[in-house]
Chains A and B, each alone.
Chain A
Amino acid sequence: MNELTKLSADALASKLAAGEVSSVEATQAQLDRIAEVDGDIHAFLHVNTEEALAVARGIDEKRAAGEELHHLAGVPIAVKDMIVTVGQPTTAGSKILEGWHSPYDATVVKKLRAAGMPILGKTNLDEFAMGSSTEHSAYGPTRNPWDLERIPGGSGGGSAAAVAAFEAPLALGTDTGGSIRQPGAVTGTVGVKPTYGGVSRYGAIALASSLDQIGPVSRTVLDAALLHEVIGGHDPQDSTSLTDPCTGLVDAARQGALGDLSGVRLGVIKELGGEGYQAGVEARFQESLELFRSAGAEIVEVSCPSFSYALAAYYLILPSEASSNLAKFDGVRFGLRELPKDGPLTIERVMGATRAAGFGEEVKRRIILGVYALSAGYYDAYYGSAQKVRTLIQRDFDAAFSQADVLVSPTAPTTAFKFGEKMADPLAMYLNDVATIPANLAGVPGMSLPNGLAEEDGLPSGIQLLAPAREDARLYRVGAALEAMHEAAWGGSILDKAPLLNGASAGNTPQLHTPDLGGK
């Protein structure tokens, strides 16, 4: 492996600015790394070789000409294939969009281009971001770089795996119920769901509009802050976009890295832990609480009793909004058109055949559930009640944040599970998001960062930090402090401990047993 690919985005940016390395060299190193390992990992659905190198070349020329550039100019990035891009296909992991090219860029993509960041390609995901394992991609699953027989989390398993496997220093994800944070936890990377409205969703294919949020995936807290500041801020093209400026996150991360958390109150959420949580995940979590104390933080216990209803409310709200958002995939304006095998060729029958052929099983399941929850006679009992639970969860957060500045919990109840283990049981799969979902329902920001390896399986666990809406900077301060303490204890990054990644030096790619996972 080229050592350039192991650099953090910030370190690479500094080398680019100092003229020690060119963006073309850095981008080519990432493309080489993708060619080296992505056959095993399958983090990417599309690799954007020529355009990425052309952008890198352009940045090198501007730098040589003495132009003032963004700090991350020339630093390559991967983009989850739920976010539309001109010049590259966007599939949302679904056959219904196979081969489709968006005629416009998402706002976040425009911002990446304006900052001069070469886009390496589009990363794999559960179809329309529905899933917790990236097994539901129509193009085959992504594998966890820590163990190829395990899931990389979902739905943003591609983005997390790409960053964990050193295929990209940074990536964008989308988080509707934990799809940035949970993959971060099981791959040993940092994932942030910003405050709802803090990053424009214009050009993110809508799953559940009141829950979706684009956010950064990285290997360090500072890198996430740098990317968050690039993509954040007001966008008049998104009616839910906050007008607040997106600043102070990088400063907060740098301050946090100094390791002093004096005066910070951290609230341990009583309901997110204990039964159903893997022992090794819990043990690492308790150790981190001790580290927080040693940095001067005060630890208090907070109770959020309505969180036990969050999962149920989420699995009514999400399908309801998804059934509406996905109605546009009708075989008329874009994407697949499938003709019925027999009978008259009417639009209604073409639509039925197109959606049957284009959507996978999980998408169909959730659309049908959403149509049911919104049906006359059931609306109040299901969708209406779920919206009330949302109020109660917001009240729980308000009460908790009156006692603590930042709330903490394990990000996911377990480490990465094996492929197929939960495919046959949707409810078991849904339980994986139990700790991440409340933040989406309330719109508050959340971060997952590496929290050490669970003893029983040697796999990464994650710790989740939650802050009040618009207080994303608190996550970066507390996250960077914990990261600094962890790295001092571990002697480096958690990814240094990954057996496959350590063996994957240039010309020595581990040829591992690759399970037959089906898919394309």
Chain B
Amino acid sequence: MTEINRDDVAHLARLAHIDMSDAELDRMAGELAVIVDSVKSVSEIAGPEVPATSHPIPLSNVLREDVVGQLLSQEQALSGAPDAEDGRFKVPAILEED
């Protein structure tokens, strides 16, 4: 079985910005190891000669004319925010105080 231990999951949870309890970390470590084992097969048939496809259809940039269009008003943009002040999103401190 793939080595995914509790510390690995704790690291991934930190990267994903999700606080996890000890019990969650334990459970998730077991489940992830099983899932990762089962998806390992993808590397079996995908040799270097096979190009990767990121998308079902070819993509190109879509650009609109540089003119003012129908946009959300400031009030609409802030309408779902958990906190706002003076027409802006209000965010908790970015930096921890020393």
Interface residues, chain A, with chain B CB atoms under 8 Å away: 100-104, 196-197, 210, 236, 239-240, 242, 306, 309, 312-313, 315-316, 323, 327, 330-337, 340, 344-353, 355-356, 359, 364-365, 367-369, 371-372, 375, 381-382, 384-392, 394, 426-427, 441-444, 469
Closest approach, in angstroms, between the C-beta of A338 and any C-beta of chain B?
Answer: 9
Q: How far is the CA of A444 from the CA of B51 in the complex (A)?
A: 19
Q: Is the CB of A315 within 8 A of B39?
A: yes
Q: Is the CB of A355 within 8 A of B19?
A: yes
Closest approach, in angstroms, between the C-beta of A346 and any C-beta of chain B?
Answer: 5
Q: Is the CB of B56 within 8 A of A236?
A: no
Across the two chains, which residue of chain B brings its CB closest to A238?
A: B62
Closest 9 pairs between A and B when the two form their complex, measured CB to CB: A443-B56, A337-B82, A388-B46, A334-B80, A387-B52, A103-B76, A356-B19, A352-B19, A385-B46
Interface residues, chain B, with chain A CB atoms under 8 Å away: 4, 8-9, 12-20, 24, 28, 31-32, 34-36, 38-47, 50-57, 59, 61-62, 64, 72, 76-77, 79-83, 89, 91-97
Closest approach, in angstroms, between the C-beta of B91 and any C-beta of chain A?
Answer: 6
Chain B contacts of A312 at CB under 8 A? 38-42
Chain B contacts of A351 at CB under 8 A? 17
Q: How far is the CA of A372 from the CA of B52 in the complex (A)?
A: 19
Q: Is the CB of B79 within 8 A of A352?
A: no
Additional pairs, 12, CB under 8 Å, beyond known A100-B80, A359-B18, A389-B45: A239-B59, A239-B62, A331-B82, A337-B82, A355-B16, A355-B17, A367-B18, A368-B18, A371-B15, A372-B36, A381-B43, A387-B54
Chain A contacts of B54 at CB under 8 A? 210, 387, 390
Closest approach, in angstroms, between the C-beta of B29 and any C-beta of chain A?
Answer: 10
Closest approach, in angstroms, between the C-beta of A214 and any C-beta of chain B?
Answer: 15
Q: How far is the CA of A433 from the CA of B13 in the complex (A)?
A: 27
Chain A contacts of B9 at CB under 8 A? 368
- Can you list 30 A-B pairs, Cβ within 8 angstroms, ordered by A? A101-B79, A103-B77, A210-B54, A239-B59, A240-B57, A242-B57, A309-B42, A315-B38, A316-B42, A323-B16, A332-B89, A344-B96, A344-B97, A345-B93, A347-B92, A356-B19, A356-B20, A364-B20, A369-B32, A372-B4, A387-B54, A390-B53, A390-B54, A392-B50, A427-B34, A427-B38, A441-B56, A443-B55, A443-B57, A469-B56
Q: How far is the CA of A103 from the CA of B64 in the complex (A)?
A: 22
Q: How far is the CA of A444 from the CA of B57 in the complex (A)?
A: 10
Q: Is the CB of A346 within 8 A of B81?
A: no
Chain B contacts of A196 at CB under 8 A? 56-57
- Which of B14, B52, B56, B92 has the most chain A CB atoms closer than 10 A to its own CB? B56
Q: Is the CB of A337 within 8 A of B16?
A: no
Q: Is the CB of A333 within 8 A of B89?
A: yes
Q: How far is the CA of A372 from the CA of B31 in the complex (A)?
A: 13
Q: Is the CB of B93 within 8 A of A356?
A: no
- Which of B32, B47, B52 has the most chain A CB atoms closer than 10 A to its own CB? B52
Q: Is the CB of A347 within 8 A of B91?
A: yes
Q: Is the CB of A332 within 8 A of B91?
A: yes
Q: Is the CB of A369 within 8 A of B35?
A: yes
Closest approach, in angstroms, between the C-beta of A109 and any C-beta of chain B?
Answer: 15
- B15, B51, B56, B77: the one within 8 Å of A388 (CB): B51
Closest approach, in angstroms, between the C-beta of A241 and any C-beta of chain B?
Answer: 8
Q: Is the CB of B95 within 8 A of A346?
A: yes
Q: How far is the CA of A315 from the CA of B22 in the complex (A)?
A: 25
Q: Is the CB of B64 within 8 A of A236?
A: yes
Q: How far is the CA of A29 from the CA of B77 in the complex (A)?
A: 36
Closest approach, in angstroms, between the C-beta of B75 and any C-beta of chain A?
Answer: 9
Given contacts A335-B82, A392-B46, contact A368 B16 (CB under 8 A): yes
Q: Is the CB of A364 within 8 A of B46?
A: no
Chain A contacts of B8 at CB under 8 A? 372
- Which of B9, B53, B61 has the most chain A CB atoms closer than 10 A to its own CB? B53
Chain B contacts of A335 at CB under 8 A? 80, 82
Across the two chains, which residue of chain A brings its CB closest to B17?
A: A351
